[in-house]
Amino acid sequence: MEKKAFVTKEQIEEIVKTYPTPFHIYDEKGIRENARKLKKAFSWNKGFKEYFAVKATPNPYILQILKEEGCGVDCSSLTELMLSDMVGFKKDEIMFSSNVTPKEDFLLAAKLDAYINFDDITLIDFYKDIADFKETMCLRYNPGGDFTLNNEIMDTPKDAKYGLTKEQMKEAILKLKSYGVKHFGIHSFLASNTKDNGYYPKLARILFELAVELHKECDCHIAFINLSGGVGVDYKPTEPKNDIEIIGEGVRRAYEEILTKEGMDDVKIFTELGRFMLAPYGHLISKVIHEKHIWKEYIGLDACAVNLMRPAMYGAYHHITVLGKENEEAKYKYDVTGGLCENNDKFAIDRMLPKIEIGDYLAIHDTGAHGFSMGYNYNGKLKSAELLLKENGEVKLIRRAETPSDYFATLDLTPFKK
């Protein structure tokens, strides 16, 4: 099944009259519709809340849209907390999940009265000397071993730096109870970008069974279970697409079979989705500025890995649409590259596409999460603008492009000025 861009060549030609390429553009209509689908899929749980992973798309205009749709935020750093506070997220609308956490980060999280999710048992005593404990605190669980689904290894928690062992979870709860904590949350993330509707239900069963065990052995109240992220998107047109209704129903069945059966039907379900919430609703738009004919055929863009690191960093696939040529046959093989002094600065390798010419505009799909946010400034390249395609068809600048002045802003150049 072919992926379709949510913008046309004609729209982009009009937009670039004001905002030159490259830029990331986000689809407000798609974002809102997806947030509502998620909320509906988990509406069976009265306390359900999505805590959007700010790291995926840290832009206040995007966060505001999600806030209006009833989402909270998942923060992992001081600046993400600051950004969320500016947008107006308060108290239990903020989940603070971090690791190797500096004192300043915990201080702000406590000041904002956010949910705090401890990644390690040693952080409890570290936190004790920084701020008071809330009545409700959260612990991140790492079961170790391999995480399998349908006899396939999805990821290896034993190799992950995150979370507490089961025995540490029990020890941590008893310690927190001695500090006056009355209610507990359980959090876990076991696999990334899964395209199997069974991931969340299986994770839920693991955490629900753990919750029952902790409730009985530690005589504690489990207030919420945070399934975190991991629900993926179909970057390739040939990949399966997650069905959030099926996923929600699978979690509901596990909830009733395990928690409801034990009289624990007041447990709230939280999620911390980033990729699922935003990735399909962002494109990186770039213009073809060069072509090269040597041992392979190369197409050179005005964007590079600074604007989208995932292909260079992970070899990740991002679908490409040549705008205006959607109906032409993809019979030409290209490497689509940026201009960094790195040979891995390629958006696509040996990709079959329609005939591309200088001046064409390419839409690189699924950049709405972990796209702009992973940018950097190698080679002195500058980060792009971010635009929002509003529901009424208007385009709004939600982050201007960087300039050389931004690049030099942290340097004292006084001694070098002539």
What per-residue confidence (pLDDT) applies to 395? 98
- Domain positions in the chain are 9-24+280-408, 28-278
Tell the CATH superfamily of the 28-278 domain. Alanine racemase (3.20.20.10)
User: What is the reported pTM?
Assistant: 0.95
pLDDT digits (tens, 9 = 90+) for 168-226: 999 999 999 999 999 999 999 998 899 999 999 999 999 999 999 999 999 999 999 99
Separation CA 122–CA 128 (nearest Å)? 10
What fold is seen in the domain 9-24+280-408? Answer: Lyase, Ornithine Decarboxylase; Chain A, domain 1 (2.40.37)
pLDDT score of 151:
64
Give CA separation, 355 vs 87, 104, 150, 276, 333, in Å. 44, 53, 41, 32, 9
Q: What is the predicted pLDDT for the residue at 231?
A: 96
What is the pLDDT, as a whole number, of residue 140?
97
Which position among 71, 138, 218, 341 bears the catalytic label? 341
Burial zone of 145 (CB within 10 Å; 0-12 exposed, 13-18 middle, 19+ buried): exposed
Give the residues of the chain that fall short of pLDDT 50: none
pLDDT confidence of residue 1 = 65
Instruction: Please report the pLDDT score of residue 236 as a whole number.
Output: 95
The predicted structure's pLDDT at residue 418 = 75
Indicate if 341 belongs to the active site. yes
Which residue, among 374, 162, 369, has the nearest Cα to 274 in the 3D structure?
A: 369
If one counts every other C-beta atom within 10 angstroms of the C-beta of residue 304, the result is 25
